Structure 1
């Protein structure tokens, strides 16, 4: 079993956080998004994962590449790096890792996390992971027949087709067959909306007899912008709240941690109330502050802060205002 993760996008909707760190390496509950994704896929996959191919932009650098290889190693796989400089659609991107499209393959997009209760059925030709949504017009959806087989994929339908939204994770029993369909698009310059679409390859594959089923997740978490990333951090902390999340090598002085929170190794928290739903990175120092529902990354210093629904990067120095006030009746400061 191989996993291919296209992640060469520059994450513009999450700037300024993605100016120095690729979006898939931003932390959720103390681990990079892509690390959480790989772990979650491994939990529902009954077979050994041999290789994980990361398709990245060359500008990400060697440090990022080594981090990705380490993530693969932690689930018993070998990480392989492939470079994509220009974006011409998902089918084009995936073919940079063409050598990994052998046997059973999972394709997963690196800005998606999920919660699932099923085990992957690797005897099926293909499985497209979905979740029911209230407004399917904002998503790609799948249409099923009476045998629960996928008969059509529709991108952002204007009239109701289905409420099963595609979350961006796919399984294929014959990776080589899928690769041939993607290569066919490239060789014949077959584009839709100016790109070599993944859905076009899937439709062609299905026309040749492949049967696709659904794997329905119980929760789908997005990391597309700051607000939803903070919300995903909140939900993920709830998922793992029974695990030890506060490092024994963190220092707490006259402070309260309202669970669930992640506090990394070497963090120092003094005279503060943290939580619920806060992630604090390694060696970050927080003084005289009240913080909830936020992500604060590593090696940062926070003083006198009142933060909520916030996301702070690495090596940040932030000092809130210390006020000496005399307020009369019926005043409000917000």
Structure 2
């Protein structure tokens, strides 16, 4: 089994945090989004992952590539890097990894997290993971027949056709079939808004009679902008806390500080005269002094003083000293 992860977009809606780190490597509850994504996919598949292929931008840098290789290795899988040199859509991104497009595979876009407990129907030709939503007109949705099979895929329907939204994770019994259909799309220069879309390859597969079924997830969590990323961090902390996962490192130094769980607190964090939580993640090596923090995401090696933070997001090596609350400052920023 392979996992293919298109992630070449940096994530402009999450700036300034994505100016230095691509969005899929932003930590949620102490672990990069893409790391949590592939781990959760592996749990649902419940079988050995042979390869994780990442499609990234050419400017992401050597450190990002090394971090991605570590993620693949943590699953006992081979890691492969491909590059998408132009933003030409989801179908184009997948085809950048065409050398890995063979055999059973999951394709997952690295801007979302999920919670699911379902048995993947590996007898189907493909599975599209979906979540029931309240506003289906904002999503691509699937229609099902009486046998629970997918009969249509409708993008942002103006009139109600279904409330099962596609979340951007797909299983293919043989992903080479999708590769062949997407190659036809590229050869025909079939674009939508100047981009090649995975849905055009999927529609060609369905038209040929292949069987598509839904895989329904329990939770779908977005990481599109700062507010929803902070919210997703809190939701993930609650899930992990309920599962009994250890979230606070033994090396945390506490001096007259109070922690209200759930919180993730990394290695060698210092908490001095502070109230932390709930729903706070603090990365390794960060120091918090004379501050109250809740519902916030703080990355590594930051310095926070005299702060009262709620719904805040602070980058690596940032320094903050003040009384602002709903802040969003990127790596190496200084507010004193």
Smaller-chain TM-score range?
over 0.9
How far residue 158 of structure 1 moved from its aligned partner, in angstroms, is 0.5
| Contact map agreement 1:46 1:120 (CA 8 A) in 2 | no
- Distance of 2:91 and 2:282 partners within structure 1: 37
- Distance of 1:245 and 1:67 partners within structure 2: 21
Give deviations 1:178-213, integer Å, cap 9, x for gaps: 100000001111122322111111000111111100
How does the TM-score come out when normalised to structure 1? Answer: 0.95
How does the TM-score come out when normalised to structure 2? Answer: 0.94
Matched with 1:301 is: 303
| Contact map agreement 1:29 1:262 (CA 8 A) in 2 | yes
Matched with 1:220 is: 220
Matched with 1:166 is: 166
Matched with 2:177 is: 177
Give deviations 1:243-283, integer Å, cap 9, x for gaps: 11000011111111100000000111111010000000000
Is 2:76 the counterpart of 1:76?
yes
**Closer, same or farther: CA 123–252 of 1 in aligned 2, 3 Å:** same
Q: CA RMSD in A?
A: 1.0
Helix, strand or coil for the counterpart of 1:153? strand
2:290 corresponds, among 288, 295, 307, to: 288
Matched with 2:262 is: 260
Matched with 1:16 is: 16
Q: Report runs of 4+ in structure 1 exceeding 6 Å deviation.
A: none
Give deviations 1:305-327, integer Å, cap 9, x for gaps: 000001000001101259xxxxx
- Distance of 1:193 and 1:140 partners within structure 2: 16
Q: Gaps (5+ residues) in structure 2?
A: 325-336
Is 2:287 the counterpart of 1:310?
no
Is 2:204 the counterpart of 1:193?
no
- Distance of 1:12 and 1:291 partners within structure 2: 26
Helix, strand or coil for the counterpart of 2:97? helix
Instruction: Number of aligned residue pairs: give it.
Output: 322
Matched with 1:139 is: 139
How far residue 46 of structure 1 moved from its aligned partner, in angstroms, is 2.3
How far residue 119 of structure 1 moved from its aligned partner, in angstroms, is 2.7
Q: Gaps (5+ residues) in structure 1?
A: 323-334
Matched with 1:4 is: 4
**Closer, same or farther: CA 192–287 of 1 in aligned 2, 3 Å:** same
Helix, strand or coil for the counterpart of 2:264? strand
- Distance of 2:150 and 2:249 partners within structure 1: 45
- Distance of 1:88 and 1:101 partners within structure 2: 19
